[in-house]
Structure 1
Amino acid sequence: MTIFDAHCDVLSKLLEHPQLDFGHEQDLLDVTLERMQKSGIGFQNFAVYLPEKYAGEFRYVLESIDLFHEKVLASGPIHFIRSKEDLEYAEKNGLTGALLSLEGVDALQGNLAYVRILHHLGVRSIGITWNYANWAADGVMESRRAGLTEKGRQLIQECNRLGMILDVSHLSEKAFWELLSLSAKPLIASHSNAGKICPRRRNLSDEQIGSIIRADGVIGVTFVPPFVHAEEPVTMDRLLAHIDHICSLGGRRHIGLGSDFDGIREKIVGLEHAGKYHDLVNLLQKHYSEEDVEGFICGNWYRFYLKHLPAAT
């Protein structure tokens, strides 16, 4: 079965350690081409996330995109997904597809021209914040828990105009609801779990999950152990409670995967890197129908992106 993973942080590791080899399995990277091929990862979304020492400087966003081309795309038969046609071409020809996203708009410095530049460069989704506040909004860990700024509202409008997909993972709850009311496009949560199952601020409330479902968005169940279960060690079967709960809210066709590999230090037992997806698929097949499993691991994300990516120009 093909895997579609909506979020990994390989590019931030490559930015800090450009000598790393993405093509071959190694301990320093969770996601490599070799591991993707081993697990049958057909589509991987690569997030541009700037570590703190690079935050706020747009040139490092551009350097991250350069690394995507020079390290990721150049490592083997990987097809850059920028349009519906790219997505279909990769699927029909059995190619590994790679998408680009931005996690946190800090480095855009409130300049909407930078948003347009990123769209020209193939970035197709944007997470407005990481955990804390920036010029556009408050993140989920910001103590004041405010919403969008005026500049943030302008960002939403421009993303809608461009067709840029908006990602609510890491966003404060107030900003979440403001974004939902402002955006004319469906939202995604690329890497978030159910707060009812594991009460963490980074996880989504039932009301948030329901609103994403009603808006025809997708939620990427994430592998970050503290967002899966409160007590360690965290095993793969703990993910099932989150999937069951989202399904109970009507989300069977709105569940995907968003590992957050290479953005996490702790790992789920048996799911330590991208080469171990087979065990997760086997576990899912014991509890859900083949149709549901195909939707969770690939189909739901694929349908969403096929609908919302731009047509080729």
Structure 2
Amino acid sequence: MTATLQDAYRPFLLDAGEAPVLPDDLDALLRRRWAFQAVTGLADADVHTDPLVAFPLPIRQQQAWHGSVSFLWCPLAWLPEPLAAPPETSTAVPTIASRVWAATVVLALGATGLFDRDRGFADLEQWYGFDLSDPATRRRAEAWCADPSRGDELFDRIRADLHRKILSAAAPARTAALMGMLKTQQAAIADSLQRSLAAATDPREALVGHLAIALEMLGDHPFDGPVRVGDVMLGLLSEIQPDGGVDVDPALLDDAVTDLQRLLDAVAGRRHAA
């Protein structure tokens, strides 16, 4: 029996009932980024994390999904081209333009029913009647993702339908209203980060907490030079995942935290002076 739209959902990353926007726990957002990359197979440069949104978003600059084919069950793998990537893909820290993009994507998914805060993301395998565990279907999906111009009746139809749904639900007014709530979110984020840092016993936890603060503080802050601070920070994050099985010298991590704190103090001072 084919599942109805009302019951064809899968929990993914968020807890049942958790809002997809304005999270108050950036530590959880960073952990979700790692989990998202593990599931999708996407590289750091192909994932966008923003404190405005409770889960990471993929960045797709190709015609079709370029991560794990198994993830085609999720609407995040099918974002239409105008919403497949933020306007600025050369920076790893949030900007106003990238935040508007992230908010637009998440609100559109909610408006179309492709995301439900109580049940998760729409299970597209059930919505459209395909099974990625079937070897033949998986081969079709892999071939189509590699070269969509070859065409595939099933996946072309799914893409067209989802793109129509998502684009028709993209509403600038809703996005603007959400952006207006950012200032209210800042206090909750600050409290969450302070609690996390106070409770941290592993030096890696402390470093991740400081990185979270840095990513929030550095959003929209201009830096000269070819290397962006946010890019460096996200590179560090990929190397210090707690489950990576790599022994890390606590002294080196303490030094990293100290350096980050100096940077944050400098940023705060420059902003205060401005």
Q: Which TM-score band (shorter chain)?
A: under 0.3
**Relative contact order, higher structure (CA 8 A, sep 6+):** 2
Q: Greater helix percent: which structure?
A: 2
TM-score w.r.t. the length of structure 2 is 0.27
Task: Give the TM-score normalised by structure 1.
Answer: 0.25
Q: Which has the higher strand share?
A: 1
Structure 1 or 2, whichever has the larger Rg, is 2
